Structure 1
């Protein structure tokens, strides 16, 4: 029987992403890890928990789960404009399955290397399958992107096409099949989201507010609106939707996925109009989808500028 410390040593401490280097002064093996951020930097820290049957389906591919679990946690660093450094993993397992653990560790290591992050510690315990990841990054002092700076007259923008991961859910759950030309790009957005680190860092000193879209565009825009005491207006016709999503789900369902489906892990941000031309030239995938005005909450506008009442804003845990 594999013990806790042997499990950690075999599958995680020996991974390439667990080497102590750079800002990691001490990694796995002691009571604490030691981080040494560069001078003039603040630590950015965020924690995400993923639970089987809630955040990922039962009996899913362990390699894909490893990739996804780190990517969704690290996306919070991108939303703050932070440079990623390291992460910890607390893993609850119903049993220690060697083959499953090897694949989970391989997926984690793959995403860690893509994100330039190092595994610095964590914990394992027996229980229902869940993963809790705490991610660490650094951002120049005073330059972190927050949710509370949006101002009347700002533009509302997103980092790319929305809804693909939500559209993929029937494929993930085995409820539908599709031609690979439609299925593969949607499944890639679900299982291997790519945190927008470079875009977040480029927005430092430009965006007035930002976050990553996890629970759905409308729901997450509500967080900016609340923190900034403004109203965010989303123009329905401007919401970017991919051709694979439209082809798989149809226009109406694709729009629902883009507005409230969640799991996008792209940035949504507000931007003073003066910064838009240069940003659009450098980041052509970024789309302007609305504006900020006086008021509160989030409004959805049709093609004629009339307010619509969406039935669902986004995912709710409770």
Structure 2
């Protein structure tokens, strides 16, 4: 199968549904055209997933289609953005039609779930690599950033943490148990917290998505904001499934494991008190911002406060 037939058969059907009032020209020309409405800022981010690094070899293609788009779209959630469109650069060792059909199904399901349209892309031959650039918009000047945390702000996280990290041990399990399947679903099908991020615009002082582990990602906020934080590890939200499969290790995974794609935010006490109850219920307060730089961890003394995933080293 040639490149253009590959695109026509597997990815053009996704693009045919893409044209909206903001994406006014999708695949088929040299460039797509996106219109940014008045009063909106364009936000965009790019993510690359490499086989054997970001997902296991021989990974289910439908899972990969969903996961790849979710990982990229999570960055839009951290900015409080409304998703619009994405481009896909897909490097393949061969044009396996069964693999491509599964990947396209996963990508289509994720596109519909996240409300984001395929705008174009490229295919090449080589080691399996998926690169997506996502575009979204926010009201002018309102995008959530990492550098706004202030002393006295609460530190909060969404959802539960650590499940996807626990799933790594079960990816090759031929018949995972019901509880193992619960943590596996968090790895295979992460859900970017788009609606929550949008609800936090104008309320949160800083935000980041948790991709490399809570401790590592929170430190990005602290460094950008020039502040420190004190975290009580015992307050972290941990699922019953994680406690069941990992026992005493559950807390360590919640602090250091990546791939959760939940949000970590800071928010002033007054803004917190004014949050609508449905938004509050999505968040757990785990600590507070302090003026002295550094991350001080209570309730888990054996865990290094800078632990986290780094592509070029063991620590962040």
Report the TM-score when normalising by structure 1: 0.94
Contact 2:15-2:27 within 8 A present in 1 as well = no
**What's the CA shift for 1:280?**
6.6
**What's the CA shift for 1:184?**
2.4
Q: Which residue in the other structure is 1:260 paired with?
A: 256
Q: Which residue in the other structure is 1:277 paired with?
A: 273
Flag the 1:216–1:267 CA change in 2: closer, same or farther, 3 A: same
Q: Which residue in the other structure is 2:121 paired with?
A: 122
CA deviation string 1:5-52 (max 9, x = no partner):
111111101226753123100001000000012210011100000000
Report the TM-score when normalising by structure 2: 0.95
Q: Which residue in the other structure is 1:179 paired with?
A: 177
Q: Secondary structure of the residue that 2:118 maps to in structure 1?
A: strand
Q: Which runs of 5+ in 2 are unaligned?
A: none
Flag the 1:312–1:149 CA change in 2: closer, same or farther, 3 A: closer
CA deviation string 1:264-300 (max 9, x = no partner):
1010000001122343722213100000001223221
Q: Which residue in the other structure is 1:294 paired with?
A: 291
Flag the 1:17–1:143 CA change in 2: closer, same or farther, 3 A: farther
Q: Structure 1 residue 314 and structure 2 residue 308: aligned?
A: yes
**What's the CA shift for 1:240?**
0.7
Contact 2:216-2:307 within 8 A present in 1 as well = yes
**What's the CA shift for 1:87?**
0.5
CA deviation string 1:174-206 (max 9, x = no partner):
3x86521x1222111111111111111111111
Flag the 1:257–1:37 CA change in 2: closer, same or farther, 3 A: same
Q: Which runs of 5+ in 1 are unaligned?
A: none
- For 2:66 and 2:16, locate their aligned partners in 1 and report how far apart those are by CA, in whole Å: 13
Contact 1:171-1:177 within 8 A present in 2 as well = no
Contact 1:160-1:240 within 8 A present in 2 as well = yes
Contact 1:301-1:308 within 8 A present in 2 as well = no
- For 1:312 and 1:55, locate their aligned partners in 2 and report how far apart those are by CA, in whole Å: 21
Q: Which residue in the other structure is 1:170 paired with?
A: 169
CA deviation string 1:95-135 (max 9, x = no partner):
00001001100100000000011001111000000000000
Contact 2:150-2:289 within 8 A present in 1 as well = yes
Q: Which residue in the other structure is 2:132 paired with?
A: 133
Count, aligned residues: 311
Q: Which residue in the other structure is 2:197 paired with?
A: 200
Contact 1:156-1:288 within 8 A present in 2 as well = yes
Which has the higher mean CA deviation after the structures are superposed, 23-32 or 271-280? Answer: 271-280
- For 2:155 and 2:276, locate their aligned partners in 1 and report how far apart those are by CA, in whole Å: 13
